[in-house]
Structure formats: structure tokens, C-alpha cells
Amino acid sequence: MESYVYNNLSNYEEDNGLLSKSDIEEIASELSREVTEEINKQFSVMFK
């Protein structure tokens, strides 16, 4: 997850370091998906 954010943010730094609304939404969507997957994994371990 960290690498996804880092890679995307470092790509945008080349464009004066500004993030567009769609860039932010794309990163937020990916983080949300990964966090949801991680939570589901943790719950499945807890309730085995």
C-alpha cells in the first residue's frame, strides 16, 4: 500500500507537486480498497 502511494505521489511531484482532484480520488480509492482487504483478512483470522 505504501509503495502505491509513494509511486503515485512521486510521479505527480514532477508536475510541480500538485495533485488534481481526480489524482487524489484515485489514490483514496486504492487506499480504501487495500484497507478493506486488510480488515477482512484480520477478521477472518480472528473468527476462524
pTM above 0.85, yes or no: no
Is residue 48 packed enough to be buried (19+ CB in 10 Å), middle (13-18) or exposed (0-12)?
exposed
> How many residues would you count in the chain?
48
> Which cell numbers hold the place of 42?
484480520
The pLDDT tens digits along the chain (48 residues) read 556 666 666 665 556 667 788 888 998 999 999 999 999 999 998 887
